Structure formats: C-alpha cells, structure tokens
Amino acid sequence: MLRKAGFPVPNGFAVTSPACQAVLAANGLDTFIRQKAQKLEAGYNRGADFEGDTEEIHGRILEAVFPEEFEKELSGAWQSLTLSGSEARRSPQAAISVRSSALVEDRAEHSFAGQFQSVLNVVSFEGLKEALKEVIASNYSSRSIAYRLHAGLPPARHDMAVLCQLMVQAESAGIVFTVDPATPENGRMLISAVPGLGIAAVGGSAPADIYRPPREQTETERATDQAQIARKTHRVGAKIEGGIEEIELPETERNQPVLSEELIRSLVRLSRRIESLIGKPQDIEWAVSPGGEIHVLQSRDIRLSLKNRQAAEVARGELLLRGGVCASPGRSIGKVKVVYSTRDFEAWRKTSGREPQILVLPQSLSDAAAFLSDFEGVVVDLGNPADHLAVVAREYSRPMMTGAGKAVQTLQDGQWIVLDADMGMIFKAPEEAWAEESPGAPSHRMRGESAKAQPDDLSLPGSPRLKQLILPLNLTDAYGPAFSIQECRSLHDLIRYAHEMAVLAMFQTGDEFLESAEVLVRRLEGAVPLHFLIIDLGGGIAADSKKFKVRLEDIFSVPLLALWRGIMTPGLRWNQPPPGAIPSGLLSRSLLDSGSARPIGQQNYALITRDYLNLNARVDYHFAMVDAVCGMNPRENHIRFRFKGGGTTAVQRERRAQFITEVLQANGFFVDQRGDLVTASILETQQPETEERLVMLGRLLGFSRQLDATMRDDTVPGKVAGAFLDGDYALKTISDEL
C-alpha cells in the first residue's frame, strides 16, 4: 500500500502463503508437520523431544525440492527484480532481502515480534532458494511453535508469505515509533538508529542512538535536543559474496551521532505522512542509502496499552467532518480542491502542481469521472454509492465518500485533509509534513498508479501541421455568416459545429414531437410575455380540465408550479428592457432573426407529469431548457438547466453566461460554461430544496432577458449576480453603473 501511495519503499515481490503451502505439500511435508503438531498441541512431546521434533521439521523443509513450475516463476521474478535493481544502482549485481510476511504478524492480540527468520543480502538465485526455505522453516521453529501454543493458535497452520525485496545498502538504519510507546501523551516520537544495516537495531544486539524529536516541529527546539548517543563499536554490513558481517568501527566514529538534525526532521515528516495515511501510530523500519535517501522497509501498528490508546488518537488528526457514506473504500491524503464547474477543472489542470489533491463536489456529477484519475480521493455532499461517479471511483480505486452534507462549506481550498472513506470521516492532515515547500521533504506523493498524463503534457507527433488540424478554433460566432460546416478547418471546429447543431436539434425535436400531438397540447395563461404550450404526460393537469387554455389552479405538476412562482416574482423586468442604453446590436439582430433556426415568436413547450418538467423555451434571443424531477424520492430528484445565445456580440453574450454561472454556483449547481453556453445540474436534493431552486430558475429566466446588452465590461457580471442574489431584481442598486 505504501509503495502504491508513492512512498520510498524498495521494489520487490511476494511468495504467497498458498504458494508456500504448495511447496510443503509437493514434498509431503504438510502431513508430516500436521502429525508432529498434533503431539505438540496435545502436550505429549513438550519435554526433551520438543526441540528435536522442531529441528526435524526445520531440517526436512531445508531439504525440500521446489516444484518445477514454482521454480520457473521464482526465477523469473528474481531476474526481473535484480535486473531493475542493477540498472537503478548502476551495479553489476543486486542483492535482496528475504523476510517473513505472516498473516498472524503485527496484530493487536499477538505480534510474533522476532519469531521468524530474515535473510539479508542474497546475491544469487541459488541463495534465494535457500533463503526462502529458511524463512518458511522459521514458521515451525521451537520458539515460533511455543509462541503459537501459548497464544492458543494451531501450531501446524501455515499462514506465512515471504517478501523478497531489494536490499538497501544502508549507511544507517533503525526504527521510528511515531508516538513514544512508553509515554504517548508527551507529543514526541521515538527513533532508534545504528550505523550500517538495521538488523542490529531491530534485534537489540548492539548499542543504538535514541532520539525523541517533537511530533510538531518548532523553531525553539532542535530534533536532537533529547538525543542519547550511544558508544557504538561495530556496524553490520553486506559482504560481496552474500550474507552479512560485523565491521569494527574506528575509534573516531564510535561516539558520533548516527543521524543529523536535518535527517531526523525528514524522518519525522515522512513518518507522519505514513501515520496520517494509515490513521494509527506506526512502528516503521527505515534505512538511509549512501546517497542520503530514506527508504521505508516496513510499517506496522504500534501495540499500546489500553490506557495509552486514547492519547495516541492524536495520530488521526482533528476530526473535520463525519457522517458520510463510503462509496469506494480506502484512505487518502491531499489538498482540498472544491469544484463547481467544468471550467474549474480546466483552470485546475493549468495550475495544479505535484501535490496530491482530493476532489470536493457539491453533488455527484458524471462529467467529473473524466478527472478522477488526477485526484487521490473524492468527497461529495450529495450522491450515493450506486451513482455513476461512485462506480468509476471504484474502478480507479479512489476512496470516495458521498452524503458528506457540508463538505463544500466546511473544507477550504488548499487545506490538507485525510479522507477516511471506510469510516465516513475527514480529518485534518499535518500540513507541515505534507506541504510541498517543507525543506527536505521527499519528492514522493500519494499518486495512484493509474494517474494519466495531462493533455498539455502530450507532445503531438508530426507537429506543427498535426496541431493545426486539431487545435485552432475558427468558428467563434454561432450567429455569424461563416458558421457553417464548409468553414470547419480543424477538429476543434468540427466539435464546436456539432455541439451548436445539437443544441438546436434539441429544440427542433421538441417541436416535431409536439406538432404530432397537438390534441394533447394546452396553453397556460399568464401575465408575462413568456408563453408556452403544455403537453401532459400524466398527472400534471387536473383530470376535469378539458379546455385548451388552462388556469394555474388546474396545474398539479410540482416542478412547473415552482418554476412559475419564480417567473411571477414581483419586480422582474418582463415588459421592459434592462436599465442603461439601448441594447447595441439588437436592431440588426432582430432583422436577421427571422431566418434563424428558431426565430422569435415560435412556440415554447413544456412536457409535464406530477413530478416532472421539461421546458424548451426561446426567450427573446436566447434559448433556455429546464429538465427537472421534483418528488418525494431525493435520489431521483434533479434539475438540469441549459442557457445559450443572445442578441448582442459574442463577448457580451459570454459575460451574461458568466453572470448566470455565478448565480447557479451560489445556489449549489454544478456548472459548465463554454462561451455563451451554460450547462448546469444539481442532483439528489430533497423536494423543498428542489422546489426552491426551480423558483430561482424562474426568476433567472425573467431577470436575464436582454441582460447581455448591459455587459459592457468584465466587472458587470459579478455586480449583476450580486444584485440578483440580494433580491434586487430591478437592478436599482447598480443602475448608475450599467
């Protein structure tokens, strides 16, 4: 897990527990071990013969012959690992360590600390085979079986896998306890360090330096202030021919500290990263290479007494949010990135650095799936574990929490957090350990292996000709005379043209459908110049209402009624232009409009049921679409909204679109703005919340008509959005600025 998360863990491979069992079974040792274990478990043979029986098991395992297929796979793994190791170290020979990885190790109830064998500095395939048998056999040593019997575990069970890992030819090595196990409340770590390989520190066979640096580094205290420097006489090193040896230290080095101030601080930061990822205090084995790089060899939970466990909860960090639902399991760490729209994604891609980030959304949105590989985890205020985004998160193995409720309001952009999707919780992460600018911070980040290259990073073969065929956008004005298929000169143009035609086709399809169903069409009378025909798909209009013109009291459709309440809001400028000068370009636009795909004056349509509304409308010179479900089941409720066009220049239309984007985002919509096209949605809201937002959209339809004419500079969209959100629908507070 740590290696996949980007931590500096040496490469390796594992021989699984079933594979080890198959080796024993192929040599008939499974039955032999079971027979011996039955005697030991029954207590018949715990006297003088106990050591003899365990030695016989050990000896027979060392004499075992590997099955041909197993040895072939083992040889391939050895060659692959040592070749990559040789290239990385520019050495003709790479060594590995072979160590136990038993399923019963490092548990809260029994740790098996020191019970199994590790073989270091294996430099040949024959040496690997012997080392592998040594480690398997250590599962049945006298001390291991005695430990199992004392713990009430079956002595014959083989639950051991074997980890084969590239050796770090360590200058120094040791152990970090991320909280001092003796006094976890003191806010310090405990680090032991020895020169050379760390086997002396792990086994306690040699004097080790002891450091107790503060977990939270301060300017007033050095990491070495509470150091106990031992007198060291030997170091453990690797022999050229394989194996290890003790090397006597010169007198001048015996009293020297193993670790520098800078190295201790780096160890503290790295250890806190691991701790915050796992969520528990950790016992970490580490080694420092000759180049000064820290490598993580192993990490496991610290065994603490019951009275000390509460003090060690500090490892989890401050709880920021709880109560979410796990949509994709796991834990991840990163900086918060709150996203409301596709434009936010595009801006993020241009500025994002190497730091890991966690995506925070107000609602689950399918479009966000395209960006999931770039994030370490996802938090969604709305949504559920069965939606599309959750499915993709599981495919990418990205932790995801839905139903967070107030993540968008609670979490701040750039804040370091720990996402624990399993527990439905979010914690504060130690920023000083994760921040990019931390001095001496390792370059590794919690990046998933499936992270993809960004489009800007791709070098296009055949450039610049190929780039010219793909990138330029020449079709910039959908209302201009050059907007046609004949003018498409790039792939970007084709996509732009197809998109524009799709928007128009959406309305045309509605027209054609409703023309064929004219006997079902009704008209809702109102006091505003927004008229649309209604087709009732069932339950949207009172059954006893038979006239072509229907009254408001005959409408039962919840979303239509909510939208209409917004349309009828007092103060909206339905019958007059916006404040300011005569809209520039509207006269010429009106002359051309009669030949457009959907000219002013053609019918608008609304398809309804009791809980459903689909409105396609042409309001002055822009299109609007509202598609909504508003019922008792929040998982089915949604609003999808589109807005496009206008009667002025492309720049002014785009500014109005920016105003609409700001309003929608303030109301919790996920928004994508591209030019003058705004696409927005909100999903899985309770019925009162859905109605409230439909009322807002009704107001927005009236408020935004001809508003593009007021968009004279880039400051206007924000001012107008503020007026709308404050309830100033007549724009009285800013009329002098327009």
Looking at the domain assignment, is residue 3 inside a domain?
Answer: no
Question: 417 pairs with which residues across the strands?
Answer: 334, 428
Token output for 327 = 């949509």
For residue 30, give the H/E element and its range. helix 29-42
Looking at the domain assignment, is residue 460 inside a domain?
Answer: no
Containing structural domain, residue 492:
467-516
Token output for 710 = 């007021």
Token output for 632 = 């008792």
Token output for 304 = 């603490």
Q: Determine the number of helices (DSSP H) and then strands (DSSP E) in the chain.
A: 20, 28
List own/partner pairs for 219-225 with CB under 8 A and 24 or more apart. Answer: 222/261, 223/261, 223/264, 223/265, 223/268, 224/257, 224/259, 224/261, 224/264
Q: What is the CATH number of the domain that holds 279?
A: 3.30.470.20
pTM above 0.85, yes or no: no
Rounded to an integer, what distance in angstroms lies between the CA atom of residue 490 and that of residue 569?
46
Looking at the fold, whether 582 and 691 belong to one and the same domain comes out as yes
Per-residue pLDDT, 84: 55
Looking at the fold, whether 508 and 523 belong to one and the same domain comes out as no
Looking at the fold, whether 56 and 128 belong to one and the same domain comes out as yes
List phi, psi (to 5°) of 472: -60, 145
* Angle, in degrees to the nearest 10, between helices 29-42 and 142-151: 60
For residue 536, give the H/E element and its range. strand 533-536
Token output for 140 = 């049945």
List phi, psi (to 5°) of 698: -60, -45
Domain boundary among 314, 329, 360: 314
Looking at the domain assignment, is residue 397 inside a domain?
Answer: yes
Q: Which amino acid is at 303?
A: R
Residues 6+ positions from 296 with CB-CB distance below 8 Å: 2, 7, 8, 9, 270, 274, 284, 285, 286
Evaluate whether 287 touches 197 at the Cβ level (below 8 Å). yes
Residues 6+ positions from 324 with CB-CB distance below 8 Å: 379, 401, 402, 403, 404, 405, 407, 421, 424, 425, 426
Task: Count structural domains, the chain.
Answer: 5
Rounded to an integer, what distance in angstroms lies between the CA atom of residue 707 and that of residue 721?
11
Per-residue pLDDT, 590: 43
Residue with tokens 């809209």: 583
Residues with pLDDT less than 50, the chain: 44-45, 85-92, 105-114, 437-462, 581, 583-601
Looking at the fold, whether 629 and 657 belong to one and the same domain comes out as yes
Question: 639 pairs with which residues across the strands?
Answer: 628, 682
Rounded to an integer, what distance in angstroms lies between the CA atom of residue 180 and that of residue 403?
37
**DSSP label at 63?**
T
Evaluate whether 178 touches 186 at the Cβ level (below 8 Å). no
Question: 101 pairs with which residues across the strands?
Answer: 161
Looking at the domain assignment, is residue 415 inside a domain?
Answer: yes
Q: How many Å is the Cα radius of gyration of the chain?
A: 35
Looking at the fold, whether 301 and 328 belong to one and the same domain comes out as no
Residues in the chain, total: 738
* Angle, in degrees to the nearest 10, between helices 49-62 and 29-42: 170
Looking at the fold, whether 446 and 582 belong to one and the same domain comes out as no
Sheet of 282-288: strands edge to edge?
Answer: 209-211, 190-195, 172-177, 282-288, 294-301
Rounded to an integer, what distance in angstroms lies between the CA atom of residue 553 and that of residue 551?
5
Evaluate whether 564 touches 637 at the Cβ level (below 8 Å). no
Looking at the fold, whether 32 and 176 belong to one and the same domain comes out as no
Angle at 590 between CA 587 and CA 592, to 5 degrees: 115
Rounded to an integer, what distance in angstroms lies between the CA atom of residue 573 and that of residue 724?
12
SS3 281: coil
Which of 22, 245, 20 lies closest to 134 in space, CA to CA?
20
Looking at the domain assignment, is residue 4 inside a domain?
Answer: no
Looking at the fold, whether 80 and 187 belong to one and the same domain comes out as no
Q: What is the CATH number of the domain that holds 105?
A: 3.30.1490.20
Output the CA–CA distances (angstroms, integers) from residue 722 to 1, 338, 363, 691, 729, in the order listed.
Answer: 48, 21, 23, 22, 10
Looking at the domain assignment, is residue 622 inside a domain?
Answer: yes
- DSSP assignment of 182-199 equals S-GGGSB-EEEEEEB-TH
Looking at the fold, whether 256 and 109 belong to one and the same domain comes out as no
Residues 6+ positions from 541 with CB-CB distance below 8 Å: 522, 534, 550, 554, 555, 556, 557, 608
Q: What is the CATH number of the domain that holds 349?
A: 3.50.30.10
Give me the helices (H) in 67-124, please.
68-89
For residue 499, give the H/E element and its range. helix 491-515
Evaluate whether 671 touches 497 at the Cβ level (below 8 Å). no
Looking at the domain assignment, is residue 462 inside a domain?
Answer: no
| Cis peptide preceding 464, ω within 30 of 0 | yes
Evaluate whether 417 touches 428 at the Cβ level (below 8 Å). yes
Rounded to an integer, what distance in angstroms lies between the CA atom of residue 677 and that of residue 664?
13
Which of 105, 96, 84 lies closest to 129 in space, CA to CA?
96
Looking at the fold, whether 235 and 216 belong to one and the same domain comes out as yes
Looking at the fold, whether 662 and 527 belong to one and the same domain comes out as yes
Rounded to an integer, what distance in angstroms lies between the CA atom of residue 595 and that of residue 501?
15
SS3 528: coil
Looking at the domain assignment, is residue 144 inside a domain?
Answer: yes
Residues 6+ positions from 102 with CB-CB distance below 8 Å: 112, 116, 139, 159, 160, 161
Looking at the fold, whether 443 and 484 belong to one and the same domain comes out as no
- Please count the CA atoms within 13 angstroms of the CA of 668 that sit on its side-chain side: 23
